[in-house]
């Protein structure tokens, strides 16, 4: 624990707020179109104590002011900021929105999900992914101010319920979402975290009533330095390469879009074999997921062997530990960076050889600091594509085939949570139906079993199409893992 205590003071700003940083600004541009609505959905076996949950949320917001901040768009100054009202500094204003079983049924009946294809909990997650409170930011005609954080409770059949948190991604990356869950469960008495971890959180995790700086202001000196010539060449390279990338077959490019989800789940034995295969090659799980996705995508169009196709893959990595000063996982906000790699697939590739190749491409890019060097370039190109969708294939706004995270979420306390406060399941992800990949994979390992929430834009892609892709990915992973049976 003592080795993680920070030696430098954290760079906080005025408690009233601050302008958004470069990456945060890009998300503020993306979310109105439908990409970057983060949702954490928790399935409970029984309704929670509302007063206890409300108090836990209040404490969480007081510890992490970015969750009680509002996003303010000022067109007269052409700025977007996080702001907090001095009068609300001590008392967060969020109110939990409750839906009765009848109201929940009405919502589910209004959705376009085929009967019995997904669970009610799954359907609620998709419903929340498409509730966009931020569609008017930035507003072209007036100033706009909207909360960053929303909470809802849905009554479900059999006395179950779903507690759902919806957050603007500029204030919530995947690490933040996981910490929201864990800290709320601590506050509600059901986490089982030891005193040592709780002590670390007390030292490192409280944001002291102020909003931390954005990721750009915390990049170590010299890590993001690039000459104007190099920046121009890199941006040209990204732009030209994007026109050559292969996409999944588009089903409907004209209809309004929403985010939908398919789930890839593997049992403990299957997962252990995949992890063993990764360890034997010195790679991470993301390499195997990317390889399985690329092979499945190539096969989905049933091409002849040796027909080369180039796919784009974005890998997201949490930068907290390598910032200056380093941040703990309990510092809320968006502190991930992205690395875009392209991979040529010819057909006939084997899972493990391709996994090693794709992972090493990412690792080499990271070793060259591309996650910092190209951050401004990728943010700029993302905003240009949002402004001019015609720059992307069929105006689809697809910037890559797939996005993955460098590391999965590891969850080993589901049985304890189930026994103490009735947590039966949880899913966390973000919407992608604006700009983004064709499939975004949010992976976690729960009690040893792999569980991936795979988000895609519909009807650009159909549920049947994406379920077939994910089933193919699972088959490829299981087959590859069979080489590591004990």
pLDDT in tens, 70-98: 998 877 777 889 987 654 444 556 789 99
Alpha-helical runs (H) found in 219-267: 228-244
Beta pairing partners, 80? 73
Q: pTM of this prediction?
A: 0.91
Integer CA distances (angstroms), 424 to 44, 80, 201, in order? 6, 39, 25
Please report, rounded to a whole number, the percentage of residues in the chain having pLDDT higher than 90.
66
Q: Which residue has the higher pLDDT, 460 or 7?
A: 460
Distance CA 333, CA 317 (A): 14
Q: How far is CA 471 from the centre of its chain?
A: 22
Q: Which residue has the higher pLDDT, 353 or 419?
A: 353
Between CA 264 and CA 294, with CA 456 as vertex, the angle to 5 degrees is 65
16 confidence band (pLDDT: 50, 70, 90): confident
- Asked if residue 3 has pLDDT above 50, the reply is no
Residue keyed to tokens 């933040």: 176
pLDDT of 149 reads 95
Q: Give the helix/strand (H/E) hosting 167.
A: strand 161-168
Determine how β-strand 35-44 pairs with β-strand 161-168.
antiparallel
Residue keyed to tokens 């990409």: 35
Query: DSSP letter string over 343-378?
Result: EEE-S---HHHHHHHHHHHHHHHHHTTHHHHTHHHH
Positive or negative, the Cα torsion across 348, 466, 339, 206? Answer: negative
Q: Which residue has the higher pLDDT, 8 or 286?
A: 286
- Residues 17, 21, 24, 26, Cα dihedral to 10°: 140
pLDDT of 57 reads 92
pLDDT of 4 reads 31
- Kindly provide the residue ranges of all beta strands, DSSP E only, lying in 17-155, ordered along the sequence: 17-19, 35-44, 70-74, 79-83, 97-99, 144-147, 149-155
Residue 399 contacts residue 382 (beta carbons within 8 Å):
yes
Record the tokens describing residue 291, joined without a space: 């390889």
- Asked if residue 282 has pLDDT above 80, the reply is yes
Beta pairing partners, 439? 402
> Taking the domains of the chain in order of start, what are their residue ranges?
2-484
Record the tokens describing residue 161, joined without a space: 């319920």
Which are the contacts of 421, defined by CB distance < 8 A and separation ≥ 6?
Answer: 44, 48, 185, 188, 189, 190
Q: Which CATH superfamily is domain 2-484 in?
A: Nonribosomal peptide synthetase, condensation domain (3.30.559.30)
pLDDT of 67 reads 92
- Asked if residue 189 has pLDDT above 60, the reply is yes
- Asked if residue 180 has pLDDT above 60, the reply is yes
- Asked if residue 405 has pLDDT above 50, the reply is yes
pLDDT digits (tens, 9 = 90+) for 103-147: 999 999 888 766 568 899 999 999 999 999 998 766 555 667 899
Please provide the average confidence, as pLDDT, over all residues in the chain.
86
Integer CA distances (angstroms), 37 to 18, 124, 142, 371, 383, in order? 21, 14, 22, 23, 17
């Amino acid at each position: 624990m003592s080795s993680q205590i920070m030696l430098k003071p954290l760079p906080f700003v005025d408690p009233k707020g601050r302008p958004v940083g470069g990456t945060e600004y890009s998300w503020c541009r993306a979310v109105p179109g439908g990409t970057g609505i983060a949702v954490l959905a928790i399935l409970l076996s029984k309704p929670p104590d509302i007063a206890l949950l409300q108090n836990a949320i209040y404490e969480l917001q007081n510890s992490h002011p970015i969750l009680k901040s509002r996003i303010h768009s000022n067109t007269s100054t052409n700025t977007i900021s996080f702001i907090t009202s001095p009068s609300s500094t001590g008392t967060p204003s969020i109110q939990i929105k409750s839906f009765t079983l009848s109201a929940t049924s009405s919502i589910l009946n209004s959705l376009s999900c085929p009967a019995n294809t997904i669970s009610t909990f799954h359907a609620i997650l998709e419903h929340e992914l498409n509730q966009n409170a931020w569609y008017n930011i930035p507003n072209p005609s007036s100033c706009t101010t909207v909360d960053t954080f929303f909470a809802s409770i849905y009554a479900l059949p059999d006395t179950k319920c779903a507690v759902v948190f919806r957050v603007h991604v500029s204030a919530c990356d995947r690490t933040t979402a996981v910490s929201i869950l864990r800290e709320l469960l601590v506050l509600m008495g059901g986490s089982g975290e030891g005193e040592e971890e709780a002590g670390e959180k007390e030292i490192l995790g409280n944001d002291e009533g102020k909003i931390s700086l954005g990721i750009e202001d915390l990049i170590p000196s010299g890590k993001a330095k690039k000459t104007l010539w190099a920046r121009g060449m890199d941006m040209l390279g990204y732009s030209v390469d994007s026109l050559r990338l292969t996409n999944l077959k588009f089903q409907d490019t004209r209809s309004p879009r929403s985010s939908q989800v398919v789930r890839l789940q593997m049992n403990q034995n299957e997962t252990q074999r995949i992890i063993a295969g990764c360890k034997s090659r010195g790679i991470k799980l993301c390499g195997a997921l990317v390889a399985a996705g690329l092979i499945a995508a190539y096969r989905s169009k049933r091409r002849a062997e040796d027909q080369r196709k180039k796919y784009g893959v974005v890998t997201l990595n949490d930068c907290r530990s390598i910032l200056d000063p380093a941040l703990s996982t309990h510092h809320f906000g968006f502190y991930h960076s992205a690395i875009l790699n392209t991979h040529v697939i010819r057909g006939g590739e084997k899972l493990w050889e391709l996994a090693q190749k794709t992972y090493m491409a990412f690792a080499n890019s990271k070793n060259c600091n591309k996650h910092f060097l190209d951050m401004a370039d990728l943010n700029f190109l993302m905003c240009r594509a949002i402004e001019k969708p015609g720059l992307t294939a069929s105006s689809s706004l697809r910037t890559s085939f797939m996005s993955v995270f460098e590391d999965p979420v590891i969850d080993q306390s589901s049985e304890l949570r189930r026994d103490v406060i009735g947590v039966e399941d949880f899913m966390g992800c973000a919407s992608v139906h604006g700009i983004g990949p064709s499939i975004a994979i949010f992976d976690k390992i729960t009690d040893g079993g792999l569980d991936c929430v795979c988000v895609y834009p519909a009807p650009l892609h159909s549920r049947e199409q994406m379920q077939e892709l994910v089933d193919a990915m699972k088959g490829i992973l299981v087959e590859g893992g069979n080489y590591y049976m004990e």
